[in-house]
Amino acid sequence: MKIAVFSSKRYNRIFLSQINEAKHEIMFFEEALKAQTAKLAQGFDAVCIFVNDTVCAETIACLKSEKVGCIALRCAGFNNVDLKAAEAANISVFRVPRYSPHAVAEHTAALLLAVNRKIHRAHSRVREGNFSIDGLLGFDLHGKTIGLIGSGAIGTAMARIALGFGMRVLMHDPYPSAECQSLDVNWVGIPDLILQADIISLHCPLLPSTHHIIDDSLIEQMKTGVIIINTSRGASIDTKALIRGLKARKIGAVGLDVYEEEENLFFEDRSDQIIDDEVFSRLLTFPNVLITSHQAFFTEEALERIASVTLANLEAWKNGDPLENAVNSI
Ligand code: NAD
């Protein structure tokens, strides 16, 4: 089978090549897959993509005309694929669910600990010989209330971490996961979660129903000083509303691993460029905002699993076996 891997980085080459053992012909492209680059898929049976490739109807039409039969997502989220267009074009789509919920939950905890105890600022101070701790005051997580939106694999792993810290966990999910229901958490609606939580963390997929789930009106109802963490998808938060909440001193701190317009920024070294995105640049000016570049998934265990499940998905598709990780339009 011939596989075109888009948005590929050194680490994708290493992990996919190791597991493939030269069985399939894999070509690695640094380009993101979008309508303008879909021609590169000419002669390939399958394309393998990541979070910021744009598989819209136009891209799908190009893939169809190049006789590409499947789209293998090497991630869990699939909001960047027009599933209806893929189905109409008879192109299979599959993903890698639950490749390492611990990787993402642990990064969520890292962001929370860092913004609460101001580790990013402390690090800069000490490096510059400034050993003052004034302004670095945090609060105990023990005894505080965390509100988790989404009780899937990552939300459940995060709930376990939060319980380990001695926190009270509020959970919201229209379809509560069985695994999470066995934990000592309180199931609440969004209004109660927003009113009661000292910390709010997002673990739901990006869907029309979760687009800008955190907006001006919810921020207004939050506790003053609330910490907001987002490791799910950028567009779950209205970033301009977040900035308004920060400026109003309503929000105490923010930790983000994802950003609405990240496809034009993240995963590349842009240190010698001027950033044109005014919203992102404004976010960077707040001392109480910490942003990482979509790296929550980035552990050895996760990369190994992503590579092995992606190749197993492709193999199953090629052999006509049942596709357990297929993503279908609803
Ligand atoms: P999952 O499918 O196991 O769980 C998602 C949960 O969200 C489900 O229980 C679902 O019922 C729930 N949900 C759906 N709509 C909701 C709503 N309106 N409100 C609250 N909950 C809702 O997914 P997961 O593996 O836990 O991943 C969650 C998300 O994390 C992914 O969709 C992806 O966007 C993101 N993610 C980010 C990274 C990263 O590196 N930052 C890595 C992996 C996944």
* Angle, CA 64 vertex, CA 59 and CA 68 arms, to 5°: 100
Contacts of 47 (CB under 8 A, 6+ apart): 3, 4, 5, 6, 33, 41, 63, 68, 70, 71, 72
Mean pLDDT of the chain: 96
Residues 129/211, Cβ–Cβ less than 8 Å: no
Question: Rg for the chain (alpha carbons), in Å?
Answer: 21
In this structure, which residue's CA is closest to atom 1 in ligand 1? 152
Atom from ligand 1 closest to the CA of residue 298: 40
Q: Which tokens belong to 167?
A: 């926190």
Residues 197/190, Cβ–Cβ less than 8 Å: no
CA–CA gap between residue 184 and residue 51 (Å, rounded) = 33
Per-residue exposure over 132-153, b if at least 16 CB sit within 10 Å of its own CB, e if not: eeeeeeeeebeebbbbbbbbbb
Q: Integer distance in angstroms from the first to the last C-alpha of the chain?
A: 29
pLDDT at 150 > cutoff 80: yes
Rounded distance from Cα 149 to ligand 1 centre (Å): 9
Q: Are strands 186-187 and 199-202 parallel, antiparallel or unpaired?
A: unpaired
Atom from ligand 1 closest to the CA of residue 101: 25
In this structure, which residue's CA is closest to atom 9 in ligand 1? 152
CA–CA gap between residue 187 and residue 39 (Å, rounded) = 48
pLDDT score for 49? 98
pLDDT score for 183? 98
Kindly state the DSSP code that residue 284 receives in the 8-state scheme: H
Q: Which tokens belong to 52?
A: 């910021």
In this structure, which residue's CA is closest to atom 4 in ligand 1? 152
The β-bridge partners of 109 are none
pLDDT score for 295? 97
Element (H, E) at 202: strand 199-202
What average pLDDT does range 25-53 have in this prediction? Answer: 96
Whole-model pTM? 0.93
In order of 32, 40, 185, the CA distances from 55 in angstroms are 10, 14, 37
In this structure, which residue's CA is closest to atom 11 in ligand 1? 175
Rounded distance from Cα 134 to ligand 1 centre (Å): 38
pLDDT at 248 > cutoff 80: yes
Residues 263/32, Cβ–Cβ less than 8 Å: yes
pLDDT score for 22? 84
pLDDT tens, residue by residue, 64-81: 999 999 999 999 889 999
What average pLDDT does range 107-128 have in this prediction? Answer: 98
Q: Is 41 helix (H, G, I), strand (E, B) or coil?
A: helix
Rounded distance from Cα 173 to ligand 1 centre (Å): 10
The pLDDT-based confidence of 207 (bands split at 50, 70, 90) is very high
What average pLDDT does range 174-197 have in this prediction? Answer: 97
Proportion of the chain above pLDDT 90, given as a percent: 96
Q: Is 81 helix (H, G, I), strand (E, B) or coil?
A: strand
pLDDT score for 328? 85
What average pLDDT does range 125-134 have in this prediction? Answer: 98
The pLDDT-based confidence of 283 (bands split at 50, 70, 90) is very high
pLDDT at 37 > cutoff 80: yes
CA–CA gap between residue 154 and residue 282 (Å, rounded) = 29
Rounded distance from Cα 180 to ligand 1 centre (Å): 13
CA–CA gap between residue 120 and residue 313 (Å, rounded) = 40
CA–CA gap between residue 126 and residue 136 (Å, rounded) = 12
Rounded distance from Cα 264 to ligand 1 centre (Å): 23
CA–CA gap between residue 186 and residue 313 (Å, rounded) = 36
pLDDT tens, residue by residue, 80-90: 999 999 999 99
CA–CA gap between residue 104 and residue 280 (Å, rounded) = 22
Q: Is 72 helix (H, G, I), strand (E, B) or coil?
A: strand
In this structure, which residue's CA is closest to atom 36 in ligand 1? 232
Spell out which residues line ligand 1, taking CB within 6 angstroms: 76-77, 98, 101, 104, 149-155, 172-175, 177, 203-207, 209-210, 231-233, 257-258, 294, 296-297
pLDDT at 329 > cutoff 80: no
What average pLDDT does range 210-216 have in this prediction? Answer: 98
CA–CA gap between residue 239 and residue 211 (Å, rounded) = 11
Which segments within the chain are labelled E, that is strand?
Answer: 2-5, 25-28, 46-49, 70-73, 92-94, 145-149, 168-172, 186-187, 199-202, 226-230, 251-256, 289-291
> Could you give the residue numbers annotated as active site?
233, 262, 294
CA–CA gap between residue 103 and residue 219 (Å, rounded) = 28
pLDDT score for 236? 98
